[in-house]
Amino acid sequence: MAGRIDPVGVERAALAELAPMDGLRVLEIGCGDGRLTFQVAPAAASILAVDPDAERIEEARRSVSAELAEKVTFAAQAATEVDVPRHSFDLALFSWSL
Partner 1 sequence: MLGEGVVHALRHVHGLVVPNGMLVDVHPTTEERVETRCGPIGVIEEPEWIDVELPNAEAALRRTQREGLYALEAEREYDVLTYFDSSGELIEEKRDLLESQPALTARIEAAAPPFVTSMHVVLRRLRVLARR
Residue 94 CA to residue 2 CA, distance in Å, equals 23
- The correct pick among 15, 41, 44, 64 for binding partner 1 (CB under 8 A) is 15
Establish if 79 lies at the interface with partner 1 (CB under 8 A): yes
End-to-end CA, the chain: 28
Q: Please count the residues of this chain forming the interface with partner 1, following the rule CB under 8 A.
A: 37
User: Rounded CA gap, 69 and 46, in Å?
Assistant: 10
Nearer of residues 2 and 66 to partner 1, judged by Cβ: 2
| Closer Cβ to partner 1, 3 or 66, answer by number | 3
CA distances from 40 to 23, 55, 85, 98 (A): 11, 22, 23, 19
Binding interface with partner 1 (CB under 8 A): 1-8, 10-11, 14-15, 17-19, 24, 27, 29, 36, 78-80, 82, 84, 86-98
